[in-house]
Chain A
Amino acid sequence: MTIRFIHAADLHLGSPFKGFAGLPGKMAESVRDSTFTAFRNLIDHAAETRPDFLLIAGDIYDGEDRSLRAQEQFRQGMEILRRAGVPVFVSHGNHDHLAGSWVRFSLPENVRVFGPEVETAELTIRGTLVKIHGFSYPERHVTEPVISHYPQAEGDAVEIGMLHGSIRGDEAHDVYAPFTKDELLAKGYDYWALGHIHKRQVLHEEPPIVYPGSLQGLHRKESGVKGFYDVTIGRGTDSLEFLPAGALVFGEAEVDCVGIRHADEWLDRCMNQVRAFREENGPGLIDLRLIGIDEGAETLFGDAPESEWLEFIREAAMRDCPDVGVHRMTWERTAAPAVPGGLFRDVLDELGSWDAAGWKNRMSDLYGHRQAYRFTGRLDEESIREIREEAERLLTGGLLKGGRAE
């Protein structure tokens, strides 16, 4: 006897895309609707293939600023599944916790939303008892390890745990309902449906412990194909099938510029990469990294500002692959110019010598600006590194370029 269900998480319906500037109108529109499109893809698949049930492990909405439309879209999706006869189990996560003051839409009766305490939903599928354990975040932050509240498997049923949280010691995310793999395994469940981490990962194979990742990339750093898992579990026949759902894929591609002398050669190579990306991922946004820039290519690129080259390639992409946007382009020089000693080295040394406080002091005009600070983002290690790299690029470009003869 096998049970087939779909495991999705981190829908973030209506969430705007972060980190993209200057998208062409058409792209901006598909970017804006991408979470809904991805959600529709999920619902379509579920309605069509009619799994035994659907699990959504948290973060249906993005936050307090969720739009009514997002909620209506979700309700409509659930309605479609009700008509298709697919039960849905929802555990809310940190982004859509229960304490919010937003309007609640009544959901059809096929949707079961877990309460703030760990509870168990039972259903019988073709004679097999299935128990689903889960809880919803009662508020924004749940830092205690809720895992301890999950009951031990009793072995008389197929048992599935739904948990929105992060593995203990994962520094990349704020700690939410932390757990360890061993803790999960110790419960003896047949499947752990996790949510919260946007990057897809299978933490354990038998039994499966799975982060399906976000349904749609939400930030330019959330690259790659996004989707959900179509899971079949049974006696020794567990199978996980990942199905893409995202409306747009973010990615990057390298463009080898060796031997390029003319703009059309370069454009061809770029467009080949864009097309290859389109071929592989469908619509999306792509960062191009230009590598292998030799002297000739450098000469070519020296003819126009970088922003113009980007505009050039964007226009070409609009013509050729209108559903693939070129987001940014970086020039990676193979051999950085020799860094001479003397004052220039001193300047670079100076740049590398500041500690966090030093950076904050120097950046305070902007990062400490009473209005601007909210939009600059935090001046953390990452952004300091980026700023430093950019500053080095500027200095190198500004001071080291050009011939040495008068």
Chain B
Amino acid sequence: MMTITKLVIYGFGKHENVTIDLQPGINVLYGPNEAGKTTIRQFILHTLFGFPQRGSSLLRYEPKSGGAYGGQVHVTDSEFGSCVIERIAGRSAGEVTVRFQDGREEGEEALGRLLRGYDRQSFESVFSFSLLQLQEIGRMNEEELGQALIASGTTGAEDLAGFRTRMEKEMDGLFKKSGRVPEMNALLNQLKEMEAEIGEYQKKSEAYAPMKKRAAEIALRLEAMAEEETALTADQERLAILRQAAPLDLERLQAEEELRTIGDAPFPAEGIRRYEALKDRKIAATAAIRNLQERIAASGRELPEEPDMERLSSLLSVLSEEAAWHEARTMETGSEQSLRELDGMKGGLLARLGLDDGETAIHADASIRKEEELHSLSEAHDRANRNLERLDDRIAEKAAEAGRIADERTALEASGPDDTEIEWASKWPSLRKRLASAEAKQSAGKSVSRLPLLILAGLAALIITMAIYSENLLLAAAGVAAGAAAVFMLLKQEGGNDALTDDERQLLSRYGGREEELDRRAEQVGRHFTELDRLIEAEERLRGEMTELRTSRKTAAENLDDTENRLGTFLEAYGITGRLPAAIVPELFRLVRDLQETMRRIRSEEEKRDRAIRTAGAIRSRAYELIGHPVPDPQLFSALKEAERNLLRAAEKREQLLEDQKKLEAELLEAESLREALESEIATLYDAAEADGEQKFYEAAEQAARKAELRESLGRIGEQLKQIGAPGAADIPDMEDISRRIEKNRESLQTLADERSSLLKEQAELKARMGHLVADSAYDALLQEFEQKKAAFRELAMAWAARKAAVSAIDGATGRLKEQKLPDVIHRASGWFRDLTSGAHSALLLTSDGRIEAEGANGMRFGLHELSQATKEQAYISMRLSLAASLPDSAPFPIIMDDPFVHFDRVRLANMINLLEELKIHHQFLYFTCHREMAGAFSEAAVINVAGAGSERGVLR
């Protein structure tokens, strides 16, 4: 049993800091309207089951004044002991703490256990009811009652029926007994199909054994065929041999026949080869003989005549004079050379001597005495010559001096004063005097300056000086003139000028003051003429000297001519004519001497040359004779030598040819004997072949060859027959038979080959198919998939089964509830209803169609809705209490009532109170009422006054 011992309200609706102590059994909470009774009831429910969601139909009762929200509900539980359930503001349902006796603090979980899993709805449907709920009782029927009952028995938020429906739906989705669509049905179909497929695979696998058997058969058959084939092939080979042997045999017979025909045909061994070799050699020998004969004849023709030994010795003797020949030639050449040189010298000398021919000179006397004579002549000539020259020199000197002086005079004349000047100068002295007199006249007032006169004098002096320097006579004359002028002027001035005439005044104005200057000019002219006089005098002196000198020279020239003439005379003795300078005469003399020497040497060389020409001429003529024709000198001896060589060679050749001839004759002899021997051998061969000529011999040879061929052929045939392994000659069947048999065998072999190829093909196919079966992993894959599907199916089966079990369990439990508990509840409620109505109603009954009816005392039955309101309420309360009573262990909760008895009359109220008194040992009752009389109605009830203000602090009593 659970008992609420205390309520501590922190703040809830109008209540704030309120503590209410409750006791076990019945608690009456009395208060007038608006006192907060309902609030307290809601506080209990809210605290136990959580504050309602904001916006839900239920009020949250949050304090309007703010402050703490929530509070504690203290309970004592027969199973859990004392606990404090505290719920305060937190998440929307509030934060809950459950404190156990042992101090543990837990949350919602523990509260859930404490409340036995009941939620508010379930709780309210059994343990909390109000007048309002009772008034709706008219609608109550079995269904609702049953639902209420079930609801009171379950705890989840989800309704059991809904859960059941969901489960069934899920089951339907999984599996239906005769469905196709549900997952498991579909899977089932797949599984069936896969089973079939597996069966197919197994069947395929079963084919493996027959295939294996067939493969073995094929192998066996192939083996047998191989044997058969071997036998046939062997027969074929034998037949092939026979076929080969048959023509050979025929050939053998023919050869034997021919041999017999040929008979005995003697022929020497290798007769033909030997014969032909002999024949060849004989032909060769004959040819050699002919050749030798020809060569002998030819060499006879070629043989030269015997050589001339006399000529040879002559040649040798001439050849021995080769040195002498060359010497003579050299000498001749050398002499010619010398002569040419000497001739040149001679020419040169003659030319120098100026002679056309030197006959005179050559034969002239050139002795020392003559030379002495010449010498004295030459000296005399020299002296005369020198004298003349000295005179010439002095004449030239004088002429030069005269020239110089003439030049000086010309220069002086050129630079001298002109005629005007000279004239003025000649006048000046008179003018001077006039001037001076004029000045003197003038000197009354003024003095006459003598300055111009002085200047003139100076000037004259200067000009004379210059003339002297420059040897210019004219200048000197000018100087002199100037001087003279100056002097004149001086005199004139002194003459005076006593009275100045116009002329004087004119004079004064013209020359006044310039006397000195004009003096100088007059002096200059004077000096010029002085110089000129000096030069004329010098010229005169020179002319006299020249005349003297020319006379001396004439004498000297005559002397020279004389000496020259004497020299000419001397030279004429030597053939030299004409006047020659005396100086070269000794030279000429010496040249004459040289010429004479040269001439002597020419003569000697000419002798030498003539000697050499003679010697060479002798040799040459002999040589020409020996050679047979003239030859130019340079080739003379080579021609001689050639002639000698030719001569010697001809001799040699002749000797050689004679030797050859001897040898050839010997060879010829030998060849002839060889030919004879060969001929005899050929004859022997003919004899051996019994032939009398070459024709016969060849015929015999042919026969012998044919015989050998036939014999060889026979041997070969025999060999071949032996080789191909043919049986004895008698066993060889005819060709036709052989061919027939071969054809037959070939056909058999073909058949076998065909069969084998088809068998091999089959075998390969079998192998491939068997290999595929053996390697095929698809079967394993299929099995695996099948197993996976099976596993999946099983999992689904499990899901289905679990749902099925859950549904069955729900059905079982609810069924039992309805079948067992409901009658119990109704039975108990029926009793209490009877008691409450004091027997006016005897019972509550469950009709067969599931409605609840009340049975009157008289046995009449009424539907619940047919009862009076109070009676209806009494029936309902009976049911509620009966339900609560049926759950003492699973739901031992307090029963909270909100003035449900207001419609009850005294008797029934008393009955009701009695019932509650009876039940209070199993349940705590919290009875909220606004009727004061109810507070005293219970015998042992705790009465709590819920204050009108509701907000006062402290404990309510």
* Chain A interfacial positions (CB closer than 8 Å to B): 14-23, 28, 31-33, 65, 67-72, 102-103, 335, 337-351, 353, 359, 362-363, 365-367, 369, 371-372, 375-377, 383, 386-388, 390-391, 393-395, 398-406
Per the bound structure, the CA–CA distance linking A224 and B44 in Å amounts to 57
Q: How many residues of B contact A (CB 8 A)?
A: 87
Beta-carbon contact of A400 and B156 below 8 Å: yes
Across-interface contacts of B201 in A (CB, < 8 A): 67
Beta-carbon contact of A405 and B797 below 8 Å: no
A21, closest chain B residue (CB): B792
The 3 closest A-B pairs by CB, nearest first: A340-B117, A341-B890, A343-B153
Per the bound structure, the CA–CA distance linking A350 and B93 in Å amounts to 34
Across-interface contacts of A343 in B (CB, < 8 A): 150, 152-155, 160, 813-814, 817
Across-interface contacts of A32 in B (CB, < 8 A): 777, 780-781, 784
Beta-carbon contact of A342 and B116 below 8 Å: yes
Beta-carbon contact of A371 and B188 below 8 Å: yes
Query: Is residue B809 within 8 Å, beta carbon to beta carbon, of the partner chain?
Result: yes
Across-interface contacts of A347 in B (CB, < 8 A): 160, 806, 809-810, 812-814
Given A20-B791, A103-B208, A400-B117, A391 and B890 touching (CB < 8 A)?
no
Per the bound structure, the CA–CA distance linking A73 and B209 in Å amounts to 17
Beta-carbon contact of A404 and B205 below 8 Å: no
Across-interface contacts of B192 in A (CB, < 8 A): 371
Query: Is residue B321 within 8 Å, beta carbon to beta carbon, of the partner chain?
Result: no
Query: Is residue B774 within 8 Å, beta carbon to beta carbon, of the partner chain?
Result: yes
Per the bound structure, the CA–CA distance linking A377 and B775 in Å amounts to 32
Per the bound structure, the CA–CA distance linking A169 and B869 in Å amounts to 74
Per the bound structure, the CA–CA distance linking A387 and B795 in Å amounts to 10
Q: Contact check: which of B121, B780, B799, B805 meets A388 at CB < 8 Å? A: B805
Across-interface contacts of A348 in B (CB, < 8 A): 809
User: Could you list 11 further interchain pairs (A-B, Cβ under 8 angstroms) beyond the known A345-B890, A402-B158?
Assistant: A17-B784, A19-B787, A21-B788, A28-B784, A341-B116, A393-B802, A394-B167, A398-B806, A404-B115, A405-B93, A406-B121
Across-interface contacts of A18 in B (CB, < 8 A): 787, 790-791
Beta-carbon contact of B804 and A365 below 8 Å: yes
Of residues A342, A376, A403, which shows the largest number of chain B Cβ atoms within 10 Å of its Cβ?
A342
Given A28-B788, A347-B809, A399-B158, A103 and B783 touching (CB < 8 A)?
no
CB distance from A100 to the nearest CB of B (A): 12
Q: Contact check: which of A19, A376, A394 meets B797 at CB < 8 Å? A: A376
A71, closest chain B residue (CB): B774
Beta-carbon contact of A390 and B798 below 8 Å: yes
Beta-carbon contact of B781 and A395 below 8 Å: no
Across-interface contacts of A70 in B (CB, < 8 A): 780
**Main SS of the interface on chain B?**
helix
CB distance from B207 to the nearest CB of A (A): 10
Per the bound structure, the CA–CA distance linking A156 and B477 in Å amounts to 196
Beta-carbon contact of A390 and B774 below 8 Å: no
List, sorted by A's number, 16 A–B pairs whose CB atoms are closer than 8 Å. Answer: A16-B787, A17-B788, A21-B791, A22-B792, A65-B198, A69-B776, A338-B112, A340-B155, A342-B117, A342-B155, A342-B890, A344-B153, A344-B154, A344-B155, A348-B809, A399-B154
Q: Contact check: which of B109, B784, B798, B812 meets A387 at CB < 8 Å? A: B798
Query: Is residue B604 within 8 Å, beta carbon to beta carbon, of the partner chain?
Result: no
CB distance from B887 to the nearest CB of A (A): 7
Within 8 A of A (CB), among B143-170: 150, 152-158, 160, 163, 166-167
Given A70-B780, A376-B794, A406 and B53 touching (CB < 8 A)?
yes
CB distance from A252 to the nearest CB of B (A): 16
B117, closest chain A residue (CB): A340
Q: Contact check: which of A72, A365, A387, A402 meets B802 at CB < 8 Å? A: A387
Beta-carbon contact of A404 and B113 below 8 Å: no
Per the bound structure, the CA–CA distance linking A32 and B785 in Å amounts to 9
Beta-carbon contact of B813 and A69 below 8 Å: no
Across-interface contacts of B113 in A (CB, < 8 A): 338
Q: Contact check: which of B156, B184, B777, B809 meets A69 at CB < 8 Å? A: B777
Of residues B113, B800, B801, which shows the largest number of chain A Cβ atoms within 10 Å of its Cβ?
B801
- B84-118 CB contact bits vs A (8 Å, 1 = yes)? 00000000010000000000000011001101111
CB distance from A20 to the nearest CB of B (A): 5
Query: Is residue B202 within 8 Å, beta carbon to beta carbon, of the partner chain?
Result: yes
Across-interface contacts of A65 in B (CB, < 8 A): 198, 202, 783
Per the bound structure, the CA–CA distance linking A377 and B188 in Å amounts to 13
Within 8 A of A (CB), among B115-159: 115-121, 150, 152-158
Beta-carbon contact of A351 and B805 below 8 Å: yes
Across-interface contacts of B805 in A (CB, < 8 A): 351, 359, 362-363, 387-388, 390-391
Query: Is residue B51 within 8 Å, beta carbon to beta carbon, of the partner chain?
Result: yes
Beta-carbon contact of B795 and A21 below 8 Å: yes
Per the bound structure, the CA–CA distance linking A168 and B782 in Å amounts to 36
B802, closest chain A residue (CB): A390
**Main SS of the interface on chain A?**
helix
Given A338-B112, A346-B153, A391 and B792 touching (CB < 8 A)?
no
CB distance from A63 to the nearest CB of B (A): 10
CB distance from B412 to the nearest CB of A (A): 153
B51, closest chain A residue (CB): A405
Beta-carbon contact of B156 and A398 below 8 Å: yes
Beta-carbon contact of A369 and B802 below 8 Å: no
Query: Is residue B906 within 8 Å, beta carbon to beta carbon, of the partner chain?
Result: no
Query: Is residue B786 within 8 Å, beta carbon to beta carbon, of the partner chain?
Result: yes
Per the bound structure, the CA–CA distance linking A347 and B153 in Å amounts to 10
Across-interface contacts of A359 in B (CB, < 8 A): 805
Beta-carbon contact of B776 and A375 below 8 Å: no
Query: Is residue B58 within 8 Å, beta carbon to beta carbon, of the partner chain?
Result: yes
Beta-carbon contact of B808 and A362 below 8 Å: yes
Across-interface contacts of B404 in A (CB, < 8 A): none
Per the bound structure, the CA–CA distance linking A342 and B889 in Å amounts to 9
Q: Contact check: which of B93, B156, B798 meets A344 at CB < 8 Å? A: B156
Beta-carbon contact of B156 and A350 below 8 Å: no
Per the bound structure, the CA–CA distance linking A250 and B134 in Å amounts to 64
Beta-carbon contact of A342 and B153 below 8 Å: yes
Query: Is residue B367 within 8 Å, beta carbon to beta carbon, of the partner chain?
Result: no
Query: Is residue B50 within 8 Å, beta carbon to beta carbon, of the partner chain?
Result: yes
CB distance from A322 to the nearest CB of B (A): 18
Query: Is residue B402 within 8 Å, beta carbon to beta carbon, of the partner chain?
Result: no
Q: Contact check: which of A14, A349, A405 meets B49 at CB < 8 Å? A: A405
Within 8 A of A (CB), among B726-785: 773-777, 779-781, 783-785
CB distance from B99 to the nearest CB of A (A): 18
CB distance from A107 to the nearest CB of B (A): 14
Beta-carbon contact of B806 and A395 below 8 Å: yes
CB distance from B65 to the nearest CB of A (A): 25
Query: Is residue B52 within 8 Å, beta carbon to beta carbon, of the partner chain?
Result: yes
Across-interface contacts of A338 in B (CB, < 8 A): 109, 112-113, 116-117
Query: Is residue B273 within 8 Å, beta carbon to beta carbon, of the partner chain?
Result: no
A18, closest chain B residue (CB): B787
Given A16-B784, A19-B791, A68 and B890 touching (CB < 8 A)?
no
Per the bound structure, the CA–CA distance linking A353 and B808 in Å amounts to 12
Beta-carbon contact of A404 and B49 below 8 Å: yes
Of residues A32, A388, A399, A401, which shows the largest number of chain B Cβ atoms within 10 Å of its Cβ?
A399
Beta-carbon contact of A68 and B780 below 8 Å: no
- B188-228 CB contact bits vs A (8 Å, 1 = yes)? 10011000001001100100110010000000000000000
Beta-carbon contact of A366 and B810 below 8 Å: no
Query: Is residue B56 within 8 Å, beta carbon to beta carbon, of the partner chain?
Result: yes
Beta-carbon contact of B891 and A363 below 8 Å: no
Beta-carbon contact of B794 and A342 below 8 Å: no
Q: Contact check: which of A28, A341, A376, A383 meets B793 at CB < 8 Å? A: A376
Beta-carbon contact of A403 and B157 below 8 Å: yes
Beta-carbon contact of B120 and A363 below 8 Å: no
Query: Is residue B550 within 8 Å, beta carbon to beta carbon, of the partner chain?
Result: no
Q: Contact check: which of A102, A339, A363 meets B801 at CB < 8 Å? A: A363
Per the bound structure, the CA–CA distance linking A70 and B809 in Å amounts to 48
Beta-carbon contact of A20 and B787 below 8 Å: yes
Beta-carbon contact of A69 and B212 below 8 Å: no
Per the bound structure, the CA–CA distance linking A353 and B813 in Å amounts to 11
Beta-carbon contact of B50 and A69 below 8 Å: no
- B878-921 CB contact bits vs A (8 Å, 1 = yes)? 00000000010111000000000000000000000000000000
